[in-house]
Chains A and B, each alone.
Chain A
Amino acid sequence: MNIFQKFQMLIAGKKKAKETLTLLADSLAETNDLFMRYEGIHAQTIQFHLESAESFCKNAFRDLKDDEEARAMKNARNGLVHLHIAQLLGSGKEPPKVELKTAPDTTEGALYCLIQKIAKVKLIVEYGDLHIEPNVQDALRLVMKIFDSAVTDLRNWHVKDARREAGAAMVALHWTVCLTEMNNPGQDLSALKAIDFAGSASELKACELASKIAECRTAMAEMQTVEAPEVSGHLMDAEEKFMDCIENLIDGDPESITLDCRSGKLDLQLAIRASKEISLSSGTRPSALSREELGQFKQDAQRILRLVEYQQIDCTSLRKHLEAAEDYFVRAHRCLDQNELNEAERLARAAHLDLDFSWQIANTVEQAQYKQDL
């Protein structure tokens, strides 16, 4: 019979509080003696519980002295909980099974599926020695950011918000796997892409769009048309729609997700058509500023902002200067195309200055300054 059962017997037998407290004090002394030389992995935790039990026990005796029998019994019970845990930790027995048995359609279940999947992706990427591009790392960071929000929301009993975020993180993880597969031709990661939780219709639609974008990119890379501005522009538009889907999944806006998916698929069709036309005619064509280059510039700006936001640093000023840099950069290219070289140089320098200013802000330089020598 363990201490818990003995305690319950005493209460059932309506014994006096004094006897109950004596039992607790004796058990505490015995347990202290038993674990005095314990040096196992639970040493610190056992110590914490024994100290807590001792503190409650002292309070209980003081209550008894003050004729506060009910309060004494309450403190005795509290001490007992700690003492019981300490005894279980030190017993060396197999711990009781504590797996969450929540169905995948619950929030806890969805989060459980998500952590299983994240760990599986990590294991396969590491052990398979797969190549990881910055875009994959970026996508993973997004997954972890949404996952953190989901855990915080669940912690605060915002269960529905947490469920939506878990779904959005799962979709973002699906996209991460698609990107990893693109970066590692010949690797079949389809097992990681399977949606193994009860995804909502919106989540499934968004995953479908992600897969289609990846398929298109892979096919067009093989056709060597992926970098043609006519194609890459549509592909980037489709990716932007997918990112909107993630935002709308978090916000719980299924109508917008349907529209994003439809529009994203339309972008893909346009990309396919453009790709076929190029293959039939002259192949890839360079341009002064391909949409791919502009897209890269924009994507880098977005990545920087996401990373800074993730570190919970206020990025209002950074956003302002990065957006200015992007705007000057685009306008400078336009002026170059139109042979307005003085204006092009002025704008390009402005882009350079704002970019450098942003770099200083991102590196938390106290007083960022425009550099005159750029």
Chain B
Amino acid sequence: MKNWPENEEEVVNRLAGIEILLDQLNADFQATTWRKSSLVEQCIKSAREELKLSIEKFITKETDESVHLANLAWLHVDFGRRLIDAETTEGLLGHGHFLELGNDKTAASTFLATCFTRMEQQVIKLRQSITQRSKANDK
């Protein structure tokens, strides 16, 4: 695996390094008061799972798998960190208008309702046009 040391102790140091970043991210997430992003929460959860498994694989000497999972854990942590930093900027300095990236249930149901309403309005408009035309023809 790319760019990982071969020395066991250094690998463990790196795993610990990812865990430190993950705990820091989690602490910042718990401390946010403006918004709890479900996507950041998911990043933390996924990173925790991958890292736990990575340590287990390291212990059973499946080093490639361990490093692979650690890389993934790091990607989740890095993504969560970037998202929370962006939201912190907006929460502290902006207007509190957050851009939802994840599969937010409330945002999704609102979006669904908007699409259906727009489609129904088009159908209603069409039916009104037909009625009007019928009345005009009757006259």
Contact = CB atoms under 8 A, between A and B. Distances in A.
Given A112-B78, A304-B116, A41 B23 contact: yes
A349 B131 CA distance: 12
B3 interface: yes
Nearest to B93: A127
B59 A339 contact: no
A348 B93 CA distance: 50
Contacts of A363: 112
A119 B122 contact: no
A352 B27 contact: no
Nearest to B126: A348
Interface string B6-43: 00111011111111110110110000000000000000
A151 interface: yes
A77 B58 CA distance: 11
B88 to A, nearest CB: 10
A78 B119 contact: no
Contacts of B16: 84-85, 88-89, 95-96
A233 B10 CA distance: 60
A362 B23 contact: no
A89 B23 contact: yes
Contacts of B15: 85
Interface in B71-119: 71-72, 74-75, 78-79, 82-83, 85-87, 89-90, 93-95, 97-103, 107-108, 111-112, 114-116, 118-119
B94 to A, nearest CB: 5
Contacts of B102: 144
A112 B77 CA distance: 11
B116 A129 contact: no
Interface residues of A, number: 81
A308 B17 CA distance: 38
B27 to A, nearest CB: 4
B9 A5 contact: yes
Contact of A151 (B9, B58, B59, B75): B75
Pick from A134, A339, A348, A358 the residue with the most CB of B within 10 Å.
Answer: A348
Contact of B101 (A4, A88, A95, A122): A122
Given A296-B122, A341-B134, A97 B68 contact: no
B9 A4 contact: yes
Interface in A261-280: none
Pick from B82, B99, B107 the residue with the most CB of A within 10 Å.
Answer: B99
A355 B118 CA distance: 11
A217 interface: no
Contacts of B14: 96, 98
A332 interface: yes
Contact of B72 (A82, A118, A155): A155
Contacts of A296: 118, 122
A123 B101 contact: no
A35 interface: no
Given A96-B17, A101-B3, A119-B82, A336 B95 contact: no
Nearest to A75: B59
A195 interface: no
A323 interface: no
Contacts of B10: 96
Given A2-B9, A89-B19, A100-B75, 12 more contacts: A42-B19, A81-B58, A84-B9, A98-B14, A115-B75, A119-B85, A126-B94, A134-B114, A301-B119, A310-B103, A341-B133, A345-B134
8 contacts: A81-B55, A100-B71, A137-B100, A137-B111, A144-B101, A300-B118, A345-B134, A352-B123
Interface of B: 2-3, 8-10, 12-21, 23-24, 26-27, 50, 55, 58-59, 68-69, 71-72, 74-75, 78-79, 82-83, 85-87, 89-90, 93-95, 97-103, 107-108, 111-112, 114-116, 118-120, 122-124, 126-127, 129-131, 133-134, 137
Interface of A: 2, 4-5, 8, 41-42, 45, 77-78, 81-82, 84-85, 88-89, 95-102, 106, 108, 111-112, 115-116, 118-119, 121-123, 125-127, 129, 132, 134, 137-138, 140-141, 144, 151, 154-155, 157, 288-289, 293, 296-297, 300-301, 303-304, 307-308, 310-311, 325, 329, 332-333, 336, 339, 341, 344-345, 348-349, 351-352, 355-356, 358-359, 362-363
Q: Which 10 A-B pairs have the closest CB atoms?
A: A119-B82, A95-B17, A95-B20, A88-B16, A123-B86, A41-B27, A126-B90, A300-B115, A96-B17, A115-B79
